[in-house]
Amino acid sequence: MEMKKYRLKELLVIKNGRDHKDLKEGYWPVYGSGGIMRYVDSFLYDKPSILLPRKGSLNNIQYADKPFWTVDTIYYTVVKENLSNAFYLYNYLKLLNLSSLDSGTGVPSMTFDSYYNLSVNLPCLPIQRKIAAVLSALDNKIALNRRINAKLEQMAKRLYDYWFVQFDFPNAEGKPYKSSGGAMVYNSVLKREIPVGWEISPISKILDKYPTTKKYSKAEFLKEGKFPIVDQDSSSFIAGYTNENDNTLKRFPAVLFGDHSTCVKFLNFEFCRGADGTQILYSNDERISQYYLYHTVKELHIPNPGYSRHFKYLKELPIIIPLLELAKAFKNIVYPNYQKQTNCTNQIVKLTALRDKLLPLLMNGQVTVK
């Protein structure tokens, strides 16, 4: 594939972001160097654009193909469409190590000239468009799966709230329990009423033996391996893999709790162990399914003692234990949702790996698109 060399300044014009504080809430996204900050009623630009960080996370290049606003920590660009496809160029720039061009002293910073002087090798415009279409199709499928997962999660949460927060689970006649006058009793620990026959327990008493976590070095995180390592800081749950066979393969489903971040995630696949500070929670009470435990822990307000270890405080918090029959009914209803979520998540992992493998090959011409 024939390539032509350009300076980035030949392919686009860089524009400064602007203050957004006086804008009203609306439909259009406001981008900062870390991502979308809010939605407003106006926009700065309405064509496909590559968003280049000015300060902060310099490698977090973003792409917008709908009207948007940017703040002063990130530049937006006007791409010269007669020379380059915006989405192709965005993917090309993502492969570069921009942190090496940092011109800041404290906070990482980039100037117009730092970007403009970048060397870029491009194929002809028709080839760019074909490659962009392949990458866009993969990204669109990944985004669709994430939307499906979010919808499934929302459905399960809505049922959880209705049954276990509002206590309007179906009574013997199929009517909402509390709203239909179901018997309630005041609980002094929670300082609220709960259904008669339900119990309260510290979370520590319903948790199975706490599996240990392990601090892995960067070299131990493999891109491929037999056993996934889950981590609180990984958006896809899986931070890496290990080939260790140390009898630590965990059963699932399980609940991940971030000891540093208090994030809560639902794990519905086999994994090896949690990385350092990533606690794995299992219930030893059949009235507390992993599905119920997940939603309950996610709704808790963990005390902030001023340092990062939160698991000890989580274990002290009370959990509501419903009647066994209702607990089983909730599990049976939400189980298919989480199976679908797992299928979507597996597809996301595979498609992301495929895209990441294809991207450099397509950009340097090792793989061609007909």
Summarised one tens digit per residue, pLDDT across range 171-219 is 999 999 999 999 999 999 999 999 999 999 999 999 987 655 666 665 6
Rounded Cα–Cα distance for residues 307 and 177 (Å): 41
Does some domain include residue 338? no
pLDDT at 368: 80
**Quick check: 88 and 130 in contact, CB under 8 A?**
no
Does some domain include residue 56? yes
pLDDT at 355: 92
CATH number at residue 232: 3.90.220.20
Does some domain include residue 204? yes
Cis bond before residue 318 (omega within 30° of 0): no
Residue with tokens 């392990």: 214
Does some domain include residue 320? no
pLDDT at 164: 97
Does some domain include residue 238? yes
Domain end, chosen from 270, 289, 313, is at 313
Helix and strand counts by DSSP (H, E) for the chain: 7, 19
Domain end, chosen from 96, 122, 148, is at 122
109: Cα within 13 Å, side-chain hemisphere: 9
Structural domain including 16 reads 4-122
pTM: 0.82
**How much of the chain exceeds pLDDT 90, in percent?**
59
**How much of the chain exceeds pLDDT 70, in percent?**
86
Mean of the per-residue pLDDT values of the chain: 87
Does some domain include residue 268? yes
Q: Give the mean model confidence (pLDDT) for residues 103-119.
A: 76
pLDDT over 90 at 365, yes or no? no
pLDDT at 218: 59
pLDDT at 43: 95
pLDDT at 134: 94
The total number of structural domains that make up the chain: 2
Express each pLDDT in 133-180 by its tens digit.
999 999 999 999 999 999 999 999 999 999 999 999 999 999 999 999
pLDDT over 80 at 78, yes or no? yes
Residues 116 and 8 in one domain: yes
More confident site: 274 or 45: 45
Q: How far is CA 126 from the centre of its chain?
A: 34
Within 10 A of 335 (CB to CB), how many other CB atoms are there?
15
pLDDT at 213: 62
Task: Find the farthest-apart pair of alpha carbons in the chain and give their distance in angstroms, rounded.
Answer: 77
pLDDT at 232: 73
Rounded Cα–Cα distance for residues 358 and 62 (Å): 19
Does some domain include residue 353? no
Does some domain include residue 87? yes
Q: Give the mean model confidence (pLDDT) for residues 28-51.
A: 93
Domain end, chosen from 67, 96, 122, is at 122
pLDDT at 276: 73
More confident site: 300 or 88: 88
pLDDT at 102: 58
Express each pLDDT in 229-266 by its tens digit.
777 766 666 777 777 655 556 678 889 888 777 888 89
Q: Give the mean model confidence (pLDDT) for residues 265-273.
A: 81
- CA nearest 195: which of 170, 179, 212, 178? 178
More confident site: 167 or 110: 167
